[in-house]
Structure 1
């Protein structure tokens, strides 16, 4: 039951961060980005791999732009950062 409440809190926190101006989204966004895989793995362990895949799809959908940025930086490119 705790995992469900943590996941709900994570969703509300990510919605709150999304409403911040772009320059103030970085620090809380990175914290959410790092917390998500832990929650997804815990979901997979507790509820099964199907729910973990659904959680992973939701995570990738919500964080597609930061993930694109990280992948392009790992490739050695220098992508634009919005103001």
Structure 2
């Protein structure tokens, strides 16, 4: 399992988010491991508005293009109140 809390990304004038190099690298590594047969579960956490959706959409597109099966899930209100170790 891969879990990380990223720093805040900064939108640039083109609508892209910058400052996510480390997070994108971790996601690329998880994709490489999945292509080698190691199942992956990735948990992306952080406050509203820091670019989680953008980050996962970039990763999902890359993974799907490379033939990986990708499933995304969103938390329910109950999940949001459950403490995460």
Question: Which of the pair is proportionally richer in helix?
Answer: 1
Higher relative contact order (CA 8 A, sep 6+): 2
Normalization by structure 2: what TM-score?
A: 0.36
Question: Which of the pair is proportionally richer in strand?
Answer: 2
